[in-house]
Structure 1
Amino acid sequence: MGASVGLIKPKSNDKKTIKRLFEIANMCVKEKDIIKYPSFKKSVPNDNHISYFYRLPLGIPSKLIIQFQEVLSEGLNKPVVIDFSNYQLEIKVFHNELIKKYQWNKNVLKPNSYEVFIGKSLTEDIFHDFDSSPHIVIGGGTGYGKTVLLKLIFTELILQNPDDVEFYIIDLKEELEFFRYKNLKQVKEVAGNPLEAFQLLTKLVADMFTTIEELKTGGFETNIKNVSRKRKFVIVDEAAELAPHGEPKMKKLLYECQFMLSEIARLGRAVGYRLIFATQYPTSDTLPRQIKQNADCRIGLRLPTYTGSEVVIDEKGLEKLPYKLAGRAIMKTDKKTELQIPNIKDSTVWEVLKGYEEKKRKPNRGNTTKYENTEIRNEKTVTRGSQPTRDKKRTENTKNNGNGRIIIGDEVLK
């Protein structure tokens, strides 16, 4: 994947500057009357960076070492990555900046795999494996590439597993972003507003609990990999629209949508359900705790405030990403990685996926009835298998009354 990078002028005194920055940042421990700093061991030149190795004195907290990376990068005026373990500190000082823009191409694909390309870091190509980490939370401001990332993942999963993936898409821009792809054979249903999202999720969660019971009956315990390669992906774009608000009945419906998504995040891993949850307004209301806790991978694009950053990746940093640079992100797993997501145009997505379009599709929502200009599907009550009583009660209180009206509790949504 070719692209240009910004060349940074090399300096010959990086080692001396690092030593001085140790002192400025108080990267030391005091033992009796002796102050101990990291001791230099060696430097190793590489193709795109120089590694400086130091021995860490006993007692320097890891949090201070992590914070020191930003001090180094600003002090050296170069990109820096820090690795440390067993009292050894490696400081990688890069000759070039992180790539700013490049186009996606098929070279990154891994056929028959649920490991998808996400972007480029300073050191390597970054992938995400949905079988190892089934759910992703994405947060980012308008225009910074959140929907592009969703389409990137969507495209790669289809191309790598065309016969084994199913998509259930909640596109709360009234299907604006994913409407073009709703007739692909892998796309089973697209919801464009909260009412349609409620219907989609009601059926999907019922199916999930049915699968759980089937696995238990078949003696497969909790691992769908023993049974099938098929995976069901639930994509939520503009999840802030599901934050409970408005008049009481709609507020209850939105709350149930969030609850069902949380159930998928909590229980879906074992039975092949994968959640990709994206929002441009990350708060405790728009990103439910159950979803966040069950998403081992979180990807944040630029946000205007550090509070939003803390919601997405549990620390500051997204507010410091470059202004007006779409696709620059921080990926948080067991470590934090800054990366650049590729640009993938809508025309490219369609070009590589149009072969999967089905010209004749069954209606997505089965038997429907018009009710106040909104399509409402006649649904059965969701059953939750052997779930705790409180979950059963909630499920039984959320259903369709067979007349085109959704019932939540003892109230009819009008």
Structure 2
Amino acid sequence: MIFEITTSMLAGGLVGFSYYKKTGGGSNDHEKIVRISRNCGLVNKEGKEIRIFRKTRKKNYTEYVYQMPQGLSVNQFQSKIDNFNDGLNIKKTVPDIYFSDFEEIDWKGDVVKQVKKILNKKKKLKKEVEIKFDGMLKFKVFDEELTSDFPFDEELLKKVKGWKIPVGVNRSNELIMHDFEMYPHLALGGATRYGKSNFINSMITTLIINNPDHVKFHLIDLKGGIELCDYENIKQTVSIAYEPEEALNTLKTAYEEMRIMQEKIKKLGKKKIQDTNIKTRHFVIIDEVGELNPEEAVDKKDIRENGVVVHKSEKTIKEECQQYMSKIARLGAGFGFRQILATQYPTGDVIPRQCKQNSDAKLSFKVRNATASNVVLDENGAEDLPRIKGRALYITDQRHIVQTPYIKEEEIRKNIQPHINIRPRKERVESSAEDSKETTERRKYTPIIEETELS
């Protein structure tokens, strides 16, 4: 009896000590942070360096708050993030002991040998650092690195309702969501193979699952149709395009439907769709938006006969596409139209300026340099993300580093299969455009009496 009590107390003490070390107990990261800063030259011309103001232990990280000397900027510290991450993890191992280890002891065997084996269990501690500035320089040193395995599954979908989609999980293991009712438009970027297309697929699949009868897609896939072709024949897809000429028709159709929705809302005496009972939301999704940049057009001259354009040049087509995109970005939010612009070549004005200005939410995966990060996010940071698929920087009025959900092909197929309604793409686009045209013509001359979602 005494032996069992003593063993339980010993086990509890060892497990407690293991937890204490895993969560940074007794660590001296403050001195390491100061030393790394000094070695990286992060001192001002007078030789002054950061000074500790406060240390606070949180649930799964320790926050160190410093006074930053005049003449230094937070960007200088953020540019050395790899130095801080590496410096805080040199030869860092901690005990990795759990109560279950002691429960598995065979008391009829060599107990001492088994206990020694448990005591020798070690775990490499991989801390991660976030650096922010809000008048004070703040280092958040997380006990463990952000997971790189975050599956898209039914458990995840239970947490996401309405017009929200999962963006990812952060270092505090909190689910970060994007709400299209709050942030209607989204700019999306990242180098190839880092997770941009996977994110688009998880977004579309979530919207279909949660709003199968009310979501409408206007899809433009300018990467040869390899990314969005799975959704070509589902009932939620109004129009899909694979070439700039088709993209122009898709955007024109979306714009005309937006104007029709504007009239509906106006007749109801309301100013925005959220004030009505209209449940439909339209999503204009463009991947790769860089292919609609007029400056990169090869054919730049229209063909005219008797002063009339008989053939639009590639440049003219792309200019008109960007005009529709800008109009949807400016006007669409209140009428239930959401625009998602994705690029893997974030250079220059690849995302039209007005579209970007009206995108209050931005998500970027790993990019090559700070210039590319600024194109997508309007700030640095995406270039410093680790080379981990699915790792991204999500910015609204807050800034989150997240691991985005990974969705498997079979998960996509399983969820879209019930909605497939095979119909030739050309017929669907022409029918939608014709319907919009006819409705517009009727509105010019006669009152419209039609059944709406309010009926």
Residues 201 and 43 of structure 1: CA distance in aligned 2, closer, same or farther (over 3 Å): closer
**1:148-184 superposed Cα distances (whole Å, 9 cap, x missing partner):** 1110110111111122211111111343322222222
SS class of match (2:362): strand
How far off is 1:133 after superposition? 0.5
Which residue of the partner structure matches residue 157 of structure 1? 207
2:27 paired residue among 12, 33, 36: 12
How far off is 1:37 after superposition? 4.9
CA distance in 1, matches of 2:317, 2:155: 43
CA distance in 2, matches of 1:172, 1:34: 53
CA distance in 1, matches of 2:404, 2:335: 29
1:121 paired residue among 157, 170, 182: 170
Q: Which amino acid is 1:212 matched to?
A: Q
Is it true that 1:252 corresponds to 2:316 in the alignment? yes
SS class of match (1:158): helix
Which residue of the partner structure matches residue 304 of structure 1? 368
Q: Which amino acid is 2:370 matched to?
A: Y
CA distance in 1, matches of 2:421, 2:74: 53
Aligned residues of 1:191 and 1:197 also touching (Cα < 8 A): yes
CA distance in 1, matches of 2:249, 2:47: 68
SS class of match (2:326): helix
SS class of match (1:274): strand
Aligned residues of 1:157 and 1:165 also touching (Cα < 8 A): yes
Q: Which amino acid is 1:18 matched to?
A: I
Is it true that 1:51 corresponds to 2:63 in the alignment? yes
SS class of match (1:219): coil
Which residue of the partner structure matches residue 128 of structure 2? 79
How do 1:338-353 and structure 2 match up within 5 A?
Answer: 338-353=401-416
2:143 paired residue among 95, 100, 107: 95
Aligned residues of 1:264 and 1:273 also touching (Cα < 8 A): yes
Residues 61 and 16 of structure 1: CA distance in aligned 2, closer, same or farther (over 3 Å): closer
Which residue of the partner structure matches residue 148 of structure 1? 198
CA distance in 2, matches of 1:181, 1:256: 25
How far off is 1:100 after superposition? 1.9
SS class of match (2:340): strand
Residues 337 and 45 of structure 1: CA distance in aligned 2, closer, same or farther (over 3 Å): closer
CA distance in 1, matches of 2:286, 2:205: 15
CA distance in 2, matches of 1:103, 1:287: 30
**1:81-136 superposed Cα distances (whole Å, 9 cap, x missing partner):** 34665x66653211211212332112222464111101122122221111111111
CA distance in 2, matches of 1:233, 1:128: 14
CA distance in 1, matches of 2:385, 2:58: 28
How do 1:266-277 and structure 2 match up within 5 A?
Answer: 266-277=330-341
**1:172-213 superposed Cα distances (whole Å, 9 cap, x missing partner):** 134332222222222222111111111111121122122223
Residues 307 and 60 of structure 1: CA distance in aligned 2, closer, same or farther (over 3 Å): closer
1:211 paired residue among 261, 266, 275: 261
**1:42-98 superposed Cα distances (whole Å, 9 cap, x missing partner):** 43253x32334x47489798746973883644542431134665x666532112112
User: Gapped runs of 5+ residues in structure 2?
Assistant: 1-20, 90-126, 302-312, 441-455
Aligned residues of 1:302 and 1:321 also touching (Cα < 8 A): yes
Alignment root-mean-square deviation, CA: 3.5
How many residues are matched?
364
Q: Which amino acid is 1:178 matched to?
A: L
Residues 67 and 142 of structure 1: CA distance in aligned 2, closer, same or farther (over 3 Å): closer
Which residue of the partner structure matches residue 122 of structure 2? none
Aligned residues of 1:27 and 1:38 also touching (Cα < 8 A): no
Q: Which amino acid is 1:319 matched to?
A: E
Q: Which amino acid is 1:97 matched to?
A: E
Residues 348 and 57 of structure 1: CA distance in aligned 2, closer, same or farther (over 3 Å): closer
1:354 paired residue among 408, 411, 417: 417
CA distance in 2, matches of 1:237, 1:271: 23
Aligned residues of 1:172 and 1:192 also touching (Cα < 8 A): yes
Moved more, 90-99 or 248-257: 90-99
1:201 paired residue among 251, 265, 268: 251
Which residue of the partner structure matches residue 333 of structure 1? 396
SS class of match (1:292): helix
Q: Which amino acid is 1:14 matched to?
A: D
Which residue of the partner structure matches residue 138 of structure 1? 188
Is it true that 1:236 corresponds to 2:286 in the alignment? yes
Percent identity of the aligned residues? 34
Aligned residues of 1:27 and 1:64 also touching (Cα < 8 A): no
Q: Which amino acid is 2:190 matched to?
A: G
Aligned residues of 1:28 and 1:57 also touching (Cα < 8 A): no
Is it true that 1:320 corresponds to 2:412 in the alignment? no
Aligned residues of 1:199 and 1:377 also touching (Cα < 8 A): no
CA distance in 2, matches of 1:254, 1:59: 48
Which residue of the partner structure matches residue 108 of structure 1? 156
**1:355-390 superposed Cα distances (whole Å, 9 cap, x missing partner):** 22235689312369xxxxxxx98985998xxxxxxx
Compare the two structures and name the one with the higher helix fraction. 2
CA distance in 1, matches of 2:341, 2:439: 22
**Normalised TM-score (structure 2):** 0.70
Residues 42 and 328 of structure 1: CA distance in aligned 2, closer, same or farther (over 3 Å): closer
Which residue of the partner structure matches residue 310 of structure 2? none
Q: Which amino acid is 1:254 matched to?
A: K
Which residue of the partner structure matches residue 78 of structure 2? 67
Residues 283 and 37 of structure 1: CA distance in aligned 2, closer, same or farther (over 3 Å): closer
- The structure with the largest alpha-carbon Rg is 2
Compare the two structures and name the one with the higher strand fraction. 1
Which residue of the partner structure matches residue 181 of structure 1? 231
